[in-house]
Structure 1
Amino acid sequence: MIWIMIISFFLMIAFSVPIAFAMGGAALLYVVVEGIPLSTMAQQFFSETQSFAFLAVPFFILAGNLMVHGGIARRIIDLANAMVRQLPGGLGCVSVVTSMGMAGVSGSSVADAASVGSILIPEMKQKGYHSSFAASINASSSVVGIIIPPSSTMIIIAWLTNLSVAQMFLAGIIPGVLIGLTYLVVTVLISMKRGYPSEPRPTLKELAGSIVRAFWALLLPLFLISVIVLGIATATEAAALSAVYAFVIALMVYRSLNWNGLIRALRESVYSTTVIMMIVCTASMFTWVLIREGIPQLISDLLLGFGLPAWGLLFVMVLIMLLFGMVMDLVPNLFILIPVFFPLAIELGMDPIQFSIVMLSTLALGLFTPPVGTTLFISIHLAKVEIEETLKDLWPYLVAGLAVVLLVTYIPQLTMWIPGLIN
C-alpha cells in the first residue's frame, strides 16, 4: 500500500496537482485503504501547527514584504551598484551582490528574485546583456536568500530537527556568502568572455552616500541575529520585532511605504504563510505514513548496504537531495528527506547543524533548475525569454553552486567556525 501511495503522489504531481494537495491526497488514500481512523490524520494535520516557534515564519515573511514594498530593494541595489559596477559585466555583478544584501532583509529567495529582477533585468537587457544571461543571474543568485540569515526556511529545519535557530543562523553565514561570491566570479568570467560592459568607477562620495541610504536596511539582519544569539529574544519574538522594525523604517525613516504598499505587503504575507502552512500540514501527514511504514529506515539500510566510505555516502546523499530539489518544492522536501537522511548523517559522524546547512544549500539549488525551479520561472517571465534558451547560461551557476555545497559538506569549519566562536 505504501508504494501505491507514493506512485499516486507522483502521478498527481505529473498532472500538475499542487504539491500540498498531492501529499495530502496520497496520504488520505493510504489511510482510507488501511482503515485508519480519519480522526488520527486530522490530529496529525493540525498537530504540526501547534508550535510557538512556527509563529516566527509569518512574522519573518511580513518583515521581508514590508522591506520589499517599502522601496528597500532600490537602496540596496544602489549600494551594490556603487560597490561592484566597475567589474566586467557590471550590472550582472550588481545583481549578484544585491541578492546577497536582500537575503539579510527579506529572507526569501522568491521575494528576492521578483523584487531585484523586476528592476535589474530590464536594465541589463537595455545595456546589451542577453535576456537568458540576465534571467540566469537573477534566478541563481537569489537562492542565497534562504541561506544567508535570517531565513524562515532555517526556522522550519530547526523546528523539525530540534536544533537551535541561533546556531542555524550563524552556520549559514559563510556558506551563503561563499555561494554568492562564487556566482560573482562566474558572472565576471562569463562577462569577460562575452565582452559585457563595465560601468564607471564610483566616487568615494557616491559610495559613502549609498552606504548611508542603505544603513537602516542592512542593520536589520545584524539586529535579528544579535538579539537571538545573545538570548535577548527567542526566534519568534525576534521575528515579531523585525516586522515592527521594518514597518517603522519603511514608513517613518525612509518614508517610502504608502498605503498601497502596506496592503500589498500584508496580502502577500497572508498568501505566502497560507501556502507554507498548508504544505506543512499535508507534508506532516505524508511523513507520518512514511515513518509508520519504516521507509526512512529502509532507505538508510539500503544506502548503508552499498558499503561506501563515509565521503562516498555523503556524496550520494547530496546528489539525491539535488534531484529531489529539482522535482519538488523545498518545504515538502524537508519533511520527506529529514527523517531519512538526518539519522544517517549523524551516524556518519556529521554535526547536525552542518548537515542542516548542507541540506538547505543543496535543495536551494533546485529553486533555479527545471522542471520546478521557482526563481527560474520568475526570472524567465521578467526577462521574457524561453526556458530552453536560459539553460545554456544556467549550467555554470549550477556547477559552481554544487561545488560550494560539496565544500560545505566536506569542510565542517565552513559552517561550524562562527557558531564555535560565539559559543
Structure 2
Amino acid sequence: MALALLFIILFLLLIAGAPVAVALGVASLAFTLIDGVPSMVVLHRMVGGIDSFPLIAVPFFIMAGHLMNSAGVTTKIFAFARSAVGWMYGGLGHVNVGASIIFAGMSGAAVADAGGLGNIEIKAMREAGYDTDFSVGITAASSTIGPIIPPSLPLVVYGVIADTSIGQLFAAGLIPGLLMAFSLMIMVAVYAKIRNYPRDDRFRLNVFLKAFVQAILPLFTPIIIVGGILFGIFTPTEAAIAAVVYSLFLGLVVYRTLNFKRILRVSMDTVETTASIMMIVAASTIFAWILTSEQVAQSFANELLGFTDNKTAILLIMMLIVLVVGCFMETIAAITILTPVLLPVAMTVGVDPVHFGIILILNLMIGLLTPPVGMVLYVLAKVSDVPFERCVVATAPFLVPLISVLLLLTFIPELSMWLPTKLYR
C-alpha cells in the first residue's frame, strides 16, 4: 500500500508540473511517514547522498563551460572547425558537428553546447544560405555529443549512483561520441547532396594554421581534462578544478574578455544549476533507498526475466523504457530514478555497468530532442527565434543516425568497452 502510494504521489506531482526534486522528496517523505521510518534516517540518507567527493566535479565542470562561453572561446572554436572541414559539401553542417566535438571536451552538457555554440552556428548557416530547419536540426543533434565525450556531467552523476569508476566511464564515451559525430556527418552529406548546399572555398593551409594558432589555447582544455584523467595525472574531480583554473587563465590573462561582473554572473549561474542538480540527487537518494529496501529492483528483474531471458529482448525493453522516460523527464532526474531499478537487471543478464552507463546516457540524450520536455529544443527555439513545434519537426530526421548509433552500442559492447578495458583493466 505504501509503495503504491509512493508512485501515485510521484506521478501526480510530475503531471502537475512540480519540480522533480520536490516530487521525489514529497513522495518519499509520504512513504516514510506511513511506513514509520524515523525522520532522522531520511535526513541522514539525503545528506549522505550528496556527501560524495566525485560530485564536487559537477559545479566545476558547469563553471568551466560557462567561463568558456563568457570568455568568447566558442567563436574561436567555430572558426577553427570551419577552417578544417568547411570546404566539404554542406560545409557548415560539418563545422557544426566538428565544433560540438571540440566543445564537448570543455562543457560536458548538451544544453551548454546548444546555448553556447548554437547562436553562432545557426546565424552563420542562415547567412550562408542554409535552410533554417536544417540549421536547427543539426545544431540540436550535434549538441548531444557533449555528454558522451568526456567530461560529462551525466556520467559523473551516473558513476556516483551506480558506484562505478568515472574514469572508466569517461574512457568509454570517447569512441561512441566519435561514432555519433560520424553518423551525423553522413546525414549532413546526404542533405547537402539533395539540397545542393554550399561549401566554403577549398581548403587553405594558411587559413587553417591561422585559425589553429588562435584556437590552440582553448583546444588544450579537452587535452588537459581528458588526457589528465586517462593517463592518471589527476582524478575527474581534480580535472574539473583544473578546467576552471585554465578557463580563468584564458579569460583573464590571455584574451582579457572576463571581468568581475562576468565572473560574478557565471558564478551565480553555476550556483543555480548546481543547486538544482544536488537537490535532485539528494531527493533521489532517499527514493532509491526506498526502492532498494522494498526490493523493487529485484521484483522488476524477476518480472522481466520471467517474461523473457533473452538478453537482446531485455536490453530492447529497457532501452524503450529509458527512451519513454527521457521524453518526459530531465536527464539527471531520469538517471537517479532509473539507475537503481534498471542496472541490477542489466547486470543480471551480463551487461557491464560501464557499458550500461553509456547506452543509458545516450538514450536520455535522445530524450533531450523529443517533446514534451526536450530541453535542447527549448534552448534552440529561443536562440534561433523558431517556434518550438518547428524545432521538433526539424530535429526529427536527425534522430535516425543517433538511434542507429544507440543500437550499435547496445549490441556491440566492444565499441564502448575497448578503451576502458585497455586503460584500466
Describe the superposition over 1:258-284 as per-residue Cα deviations: whole angstroms up to 9, x where unpaired: 333322221211111111111111111
2:378 corresponding residue in structure 1: 377
- Asked if 2 retains the 8 angstrom alpha-carbon contact of 1:330 and 1:364, the reply is yes
* Aligned partner letter, 2:273: S
- Take 2:284 and 2:70, find their aligned partners in 1: how far apart are those partners? 31
1:335 corresponding residue in structure 2: 336
2:185 corresponding residue in structure 1: 184
Consecutive unaligned residues in structure 2, runs of 5 or more: none
User: Once structures 1 and 2 are overlaid, which stretch shifts more, 71-80 or 184-193?
Assistant: 184-193
User: Once structures 1 and 2 are overlaid, which stretch shifts more, 269-278 or 157-166?
Assistant: 157-166
- Take 2:391 and 2:51, find their aligned partners in 1: how far apart are those partners? 42
Shift of 1:308: 4.3
- Asked if 1 retains the 8 angstrom alpha-carbon contact of 2:297 and 2:345, the reply is no
Describe the superposition over 1:275-317 as per-residue Cα deviations: whole angstroms up to 9, x where unpaired: 1111111111222222222221121111111124111211211
- Asked if 1 retains the 8 angstrom alpha-carbon contact of 2:297 and 2:344, the reply is no
1:34 corresponding residue in structure 2: 35
2:286 corresponding residue in structure 1: 285
How do 1:157-306 and structure 2 match up within 5 A? 157-306=158-307
- Take 1:82 and 1:363, find their aligned partners in 2: how far apart are those partners? 32
Shift of 1:28: 1.8
- Take 2:392 and 2:63, find their aligned partners in 1: how far apart are those partners? 33
- DSSP 3-state at the match of 1:145: coil
2:353 corresponding residue in structure 1: 352
User: Once structures 1 and 2 are overlaid, which stretch shifts more, 340-349 or 171-180?
Assistant: 340-349
TM-score by length of 2: 0.95
1:316 corresponding residue in structure 2: 317
Shift of 1:338: 1.3
- Asked if 1 retains the 8 angstrom alpha-carbon contact of 2:368 and 2:374, the reply is yes
- Asked if 1 retains the 8 angstrom alpha-carbon contact of 2:343 and 2:356, the reply is yes
Shift of 1:141: 1.0
- Take 1:45 and 1:364, find their aligned partners in 2: how far apart are those partners? 27
- Take 2:7 and 2:221, find their aligned partners in 1: how far apart are those partners? 42
- DSSP 3-state at the match of 1:148: coil
Describe the superposition over 1:33-54 as per-residue Cα deviations: whole angstroms up to 9, x where unpaired: 3332222211122111111221
- Take 1:54 and 1:240, find their aligned partners in 2: how far apart are those partners? 12
- Take 2:371 and 2:192, find their aligned partners in 1: how far apart are those partners? 24
* Aligned partner letter, 1:226: G
* Aligned partner letter, 1:26: A
1:5 corresponding residue in structure 2: 6
Q: In the alignment, does 2:406 pair up with 1:401?
A: no
* Aligned partner letter, 2:81: A
User: Once structures 1 and 2 are overlaid, which stretch shifts more, 25-34 or 369-378?
Assistant: 25-34
Aligned length in residues: 423
1:122 corresponding residue in structure 2: 123
Describe the superposition over 1:119-156 as per-residue Cα deviations: whole angstroms up to 9, x where unpaired: 12223233333333322222221111111001122121
* Aligned partner letter, 1:305: G
Describe the superposition over 1:317-340 as per-residue Cα deviations: whole angstroms up to 9, x where unpaired: 111111111111111111221112
* Aligned partner letter, 1:387: F
- Asked if 1 retains the 8 angstrom alpha-carbon contact of 2:362 and 2:406, the reply is yes
2:367 corresponding residue in structure 1: 366
Shift of 1:3: 2.1
- Take 1:282 and 1:145, find their aligned partners in 2: how far apart are those partners? 26
Percent identity over paired residues: 36
Shift of the 366–205 alpha-carbon distance from structure 1 to 2, 3 Å rule, reads same
* Aligned partner letter, 1:345: A
- DSSP 3-state at the match of 1:105: coil
2:17 corresponding residue in structure 1: 16
- Asked if 1 retains the 8 angstrom alpha-carbon contact of 2:359 and 2:406, the reply is yes
- Asked if 1 retains the 8 angstrom alpha-carbon contact of 2:377 and 2:392, the reply is no
1:113 corresponding residue in structure 2: 114
- Take 1:156 and 1:59, find their aligned partners in 2: how far apart are those partners? 14
RMSD of aligned residue pairs (Cα, Å): 1.7
- Take 2:134 and 2:391, find their aligned partners in 1: how far apart are those partners? 7
Shift of the 299–183 alpha-carbon distance from structure 1 to 2, 3 Å rule, reads same
* Aligned partner letter, 2:88: L
1:145 corresponding residue in structure 2: 146
TM-score by length of 1: 0.95
- Take 2:209 and 2:259, find their aligned partners in 1: how far apart are those partners? 27
Shift of 1:380: 1.5
User: Once structures 1 and 2 are overlaid, which stretch shifts more, 229-238 or 341-350?
Assistant: 229-238
Describe the superposition over 1:192-221 as per-residue Cα deviations: whole angstroms up to 9, x where unpaired: 222332222241101111112211212122
- Take 1:366 and 1:355, find their aligned partners in 2: how far apart are those partners? 17
* Aligned partner letter, 2:65: G
User: Once structures 1 and 2 are overlaid, which stretch shifts more, 405-414 or 197-206?
Assistant: 197-206
- Take 2:170 and 2:215, find their aligned partners in 1: how far apart are those partners? 22
Shift of 1:32: 2.6
Shift of 1:368: 1.4
- Asked if 1 retains the 8 angstrom alpha-carbon contact of 2:105 and 2:226, the reply is no
- Take 1:33 and 1:125, find their aligned partners in 2: how far apart are those partners? 58
2:76 corresponding residue in structure 1: 75
* Aligned partner letter, 2:221: L
- Asked if 2 retains the 8 angstrom alpha-carbon contact of 1:140 and 1:376, the reply is no
- Asked if 1 retains the 8 angstrom alpha-carbon contact of 2:3 and 2:31, the reply is yes
- Take 2:256 and 2:209, find their aligned partners in 1: how far apart are those partners? 21
User: Once structures 1 and 2 are overlaid, which stretch shifts more, 69-78 or 117-126?
Assistant: 117-126
2:45 corresponding residue in structure 1: 44
* Aligned partner letter, 2:293: R
Shift of 1:17: 1.3
* Aligned partner letter, 1:316: I
User: Once structures 1 and 2 are overlaid, which stretch shifts more, 37-46 or 369-378?
Assistant: 37-46
* Aligned partner letter, 2:371: P
User: Once structures 1 and 2 are overlaid, which stretch shifts more, 74-83 or 122-131?
Assistant: 122-131
- Take 2:346 and 2:216, find their aligned partners in 1: how far apart are those partners? 40
